[in-house]
């Protein structure tokens, strides 16, 4: 059967088992939109801004592990998608972005809504394709999905000139079974010798720490990690991106590490004799000053991406390959040497960590009193949400203090439940990401923990939630300021709050969300907090926006001392530096 380019594109996406396209129509994409109209296998989700489309697809991808698909028009449609593409790129999220382009004969003429999407997106994609002819579309789509999802995942752009999707020219449609790209061979199996060396180091270690990040989630390595540590019994810390890959309620879990990591996690890393990095990349929020990082530690680094290893911190033992496969190899090797494990060897180290945790660990009972003598504490909001949802919700967040409080106080026991922009730190991510998660998991509780700054960056997506009836919960931790900016200004700029407050210009959020048909709840008093949140979560069929006014002066602690600090140098409160 012969079909036109626009149908070839949509049929190709159907072959890739795409459920949702997140997009926004426009001139250069109209042929494609017509092909969407003429089928019913893929549902298109009409967002209110292309940035929302990319974050929604991103949230969908993070929660499901499947690539998110975005469709935008040329020019402003394409440029509006850029922030979301960069967000996905920094966190290695599989995503396919189809951008309309002006017809081939107009390229380079400054035509209406023409922009060089391939050029603009080049530094923030894993790869990109420009369609030359409708006949090439099946091969390109196949390759794009293969590239986006294999190796270290990432976003792939397909730029589609309007004439290549013209309904007037028909072609045979044959979809390839597999993709082969001769210059791209991502799956490398770990070297046996490196596995042996890694196990040897693990058996010898007296002060080891496992440090697992987003790569372990991308590789679906959670069960291998848990099994491995059932044998090793090492302390485990997760990066912001890795939360959930090791159960937060496990007795060996130290909490998150890094800039706002727990005291015990940062101290354990600093004093370790062996750091086992699993799908983590020694980002600057983790290492603090690289030269001062973990001075006595030997590093084993598991990663699928060779360029992530020894980039910041030199690895002593590098194990390249999908971390899931590598950990399985380690497990096999360890099983055969199980008799060599001396459990007592770690006793002192475990005592030390217990001491650190008791001395300066996060106080999870803090500020839960219902007294109105003090303002609502943001940490208490997260703790109540954790209790009400039994720790079982998908939590998306935006960027800032609320994000750190959510990471610190919501205990993630499973991977893919914590959805946030760790690498790029994109405000505006939370709401559209929650929308994408909810579409994938209609029966699950999906909560966006946000702040009054971030939520206003993509607040238009409240309308999308109305259109598709997506009853998510939005918890707006409202401190009437750009809290993290203000915290830095308090700490580093003698409290000069340059442009970090809004001077009474905030909207009435309750009325705002109600105008979209949602439910708004405002909470201002401690005595109303628990009750108000319970009321919100009791509503199952509507989006509920809870606007919680919290202590505007609260800071996030611990906080690493920077610049020139190490991982042991932390602020633990406004007046306690260790």
Partner 1 sequence: MQRELSIILENKPGALVRVVGLFHQRGYNIESLHVDPVTDLTKFRYIEERLDLKLEENEVSHLLIKTTVSDNLLRQILRQINKLIDVLLAEENLDT
Active site residues: 50, 112-113, 162, 484
Minimum Å gap between C-beta 314 and partner 1 is 8
Stretch that binds partner 1, among 162-170, 246-254, 308-316, 425-433 (CB under 8 A): 308-316
Rounded to an integer, what distance in angstroms lies between the CA atom of residue 248 and that of residue 100?
A: 43
Contacts of 316 (CB under 8 A, 6+ apart): 201, 298, 299, 300
Q: Which member of 126, 416, 417, 542 binds partner 1 (CB under 8 A)?
A: 126
Question: Which residues of 452-502 form beta strands (DSSP E)?
Answer: 473-478
Q: Does 574 bind partner 1 (CB under 8 A)?
A: no
Q: Which member of 46, 82, 107, 118 binds partner 1 (CB under 8 A)?
A: 118
Residue in 305, 281, 89, 277 with CA at minimum distance from that of residue 198: 277
Q: 124 or 474: whose CB is closer to partner 1?
A: 124
Question: Which residues of 9-147 form beta strands (DSSP E)?
Answer: 20-23, 43-46, 68-72, 95-101, 127-130
Minimum Å gap between C-beta 150 and partner 1 is 11
Stretch that binds partner 1, among 1-9, 50-58, 236-244, 306-314 (CB under 8 A): 306-314
If phi > 0 it is left, if psi is from -120 to 50 it is alpha, else beta; for residue 282 that is left
CB–CB of 26/77 below 8 Å? yes
Q: Which member of 40, 123, 338, 498 binds partner 1 (CB under 8 A)?
A: 123
Q: 317 or 559: whose CB is closer to partner 1?
A: 317
- What are the residue ranges of helices labelled H in 282-346? 284-287, 323-336
Stretch that binds partner 1, among 36-44, 126-134, 343-351, 478-486 (CB under 8 A): 126-134
Q: 127 or 411: whose CB is closer to partner 1?
A: 127
Helix (H) or strand (E) holding 448, with range, is strand 446-451
Stretch that binds partner 1, among 9-17, 61-69, 127-135, 376-384 (CB under 8 A): 127-135
Stretch that binds partner 1, among 38-46, 124-132, 220-228, 412-420 (CB under 8 A): 124-132
Strand, coil or helix: 256: strand
Rounded to an integer, what distance in angstroms lies between the CA atom of residue 449 and that of residue 464?
A: 18
CB–CB of 458/51 below 8 Å? yes
CB–CB of 246/212 below 8 Å? yes
Q: Does 304 bind partner 1 (CB under 8 A)?
A: no
Minimum Å gap between C-beta 116 and partner 1 is 11
Minimum Å gap between C-beta 310 and partner 1 is 7
Q: Does 310 bind partner 1 (CB under 8 A)?
A: yes
Q: Does 204 bind partner 1 (CB under 8 A)?
A: no
Q: Does 130 bind partner 1 (CB under 8 A)?
A: yes
Could you tell me the two tokens for 477? 């931790």
Minimum Å gap between C-beta 134 and partner 1 is 18
Q: Which member of 181, 192, 467, 507 binds partner 1 (CB under 8 A)?
A: 181
Minimum Å gap between C-beta 122 and partner 1 is 6
Minimum Å gap between C-beta 12 and partner 1 is 19
Cα atoms in the Cβ-side hemisphere of radius 13 Å centred on 569:
11
Contacts of 417 (CB under 8 A, 6+ apart): 63, 244, 392, 393, 394, 395
Q: 188 or 341: whose CB is closer to partner 1?
A: 188
3-state helix, strand, coil in the chain (%, to 5): 40, 20, 40
Q: Bridge-partner residues for 476, per DSSP?
A: 450, 547
Residue 62's alpha-carbon distances to 312, 403, 442, 458, 483, in angstroms, are 26, 17, 15, 19, 26
Q: Which member of 19, 169, 305, 414 binds partner 1 (CB under 8 A)?
A: 305
- What are the residue ranges of helices labelled H in 389-482? 401-409, 430-440, 461-467
Q: 131 or 331: whose CB is closer to partner 1?
A: 131
Q: 36 or 124: whose CB is closer to partner 1?
A: 124
Residue in 282, 309, 306 with CA at minimum distance from that of residue 294: 282
Q: 119 or 295: whose CB is closer to partner 1?
A: 119
Q: Which member of 182, 251, 338, 344 binds partner 1 (CB under 8 A)?
A: 182
Binding residues for partner 1 (CB under 8 A): 118-119, 122-123, 126-128, 130, 147, 181-184, 305-307, 310-311, 314
């Amino acid at each position: 059967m012969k079909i036109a380019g626009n149908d070839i594109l949509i049929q190709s996406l159907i072959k890739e088992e795409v459920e949702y396209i997140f997009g926004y129509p426009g001139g250069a994409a109209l042929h494609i939109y017509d092909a969407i109209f003429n089928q019913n296998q893929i549902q298109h989700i009409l967002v209110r801004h292309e940035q929302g489309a990319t974050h929604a697809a991103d949230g969908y991808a993070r929660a499901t592990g499947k690539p998110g698909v975005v469709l935008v028009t040329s020019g402003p449609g394409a440029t509006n998608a850029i922030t979301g593409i960069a967000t996905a790129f920094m966190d290695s999220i599989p995503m396919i972005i189809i951008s309309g382009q002006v017809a081939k004969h107009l390229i380079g003429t400054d035509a209406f809504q023409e922009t060089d999407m391939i050029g603009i997106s080049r530094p923030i994609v894993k790869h990109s394709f420009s369609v030359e002819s409708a006949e090439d579309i099946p091969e390109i789509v196949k390759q794009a999905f293969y590239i986006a999802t294999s190796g270290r995942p990432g976003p792939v752009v397909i730029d589609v000139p309007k004439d290549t999707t013209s309904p007037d020219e028909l072609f045979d449609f044959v979809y390839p079974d597999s993709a082969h790209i001769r210059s791209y061979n991502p799956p490398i199996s770990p070297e046996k010798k490196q596995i042996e060396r890694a196990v040897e180091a693990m058996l010898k270690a007296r002060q080891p720490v496992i440090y697992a990040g987003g790569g372990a989630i991308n590789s679906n390595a959670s069960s291998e990690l848990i099994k491995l540590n059932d044998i090793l019994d090492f302390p485990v810390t997760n990066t912001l991106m890795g939360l959930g890959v090791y159960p937060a309620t496990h007795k060996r879990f130290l909490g998150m590490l890094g800039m706002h990591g727990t005291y015990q996690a940062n101290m354990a890393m600093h004093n370790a004799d062996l750091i086992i990095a699993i799908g983590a990349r020694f980002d600057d929020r983790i290492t603090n000053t690289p030269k001062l990082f973990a001075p006595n530690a030997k590093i084993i680094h598991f990663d699928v991406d060779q360029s992530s290893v020894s980039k910041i911190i030199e690895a002593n033992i590098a194990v390249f390959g999908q971390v899931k496969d590598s950990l399985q190899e380690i497990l096999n090797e360890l099983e055969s040497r199980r008799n060599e494990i001396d459990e007592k060897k770690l006793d002192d180290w475990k005592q030390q960590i217990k001491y650190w945790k008791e001395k300066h660990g996060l106080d999870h009972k803090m500020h839960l009193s219902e007294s109105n003598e003090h303002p609502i504490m943001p940490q208490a909001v997260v703790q109540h949400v954790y209790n009400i949802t039994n720790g079982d919700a998908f939590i998306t967040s935006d960027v800032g203090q609320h994000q750190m409080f959510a990471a610190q106080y919501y205990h993630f026991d499973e991977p893919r439940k914590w959805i946030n922009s760790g690498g790029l730190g994109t405000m505006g991510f939370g709401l559209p990401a929650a929308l994408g998660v909810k579409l994938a998991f209609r029966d699950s509780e999906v909560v966006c923990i946000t702040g009054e700054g971030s939520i206003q960056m993509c607040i238009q997506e409240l309308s999308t939630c109305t259109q598709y009836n997506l009853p998510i919960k939005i918890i707006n931790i409202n401190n009437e300021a750009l809290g993290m900016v203000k915290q830095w200004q308090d700490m580093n700029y003698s409290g000069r709050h340059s442009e970090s407050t809004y001077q009474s210009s905030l909207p009435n959020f309750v009325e705002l969300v109600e105008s979209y048909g949602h439910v708004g709840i405002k909470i201002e008093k401690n005595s109303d907090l628990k009750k108000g949140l319970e009321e919100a979560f009791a509503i199952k069929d509507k989006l509920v926006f809870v606007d919680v006014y919290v202590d505007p002066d609260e800071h996030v602690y611990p906080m690493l001392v920077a610049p020139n600090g190490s991982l042991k140098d932390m602020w633990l409160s406004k007046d306690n530096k260790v």
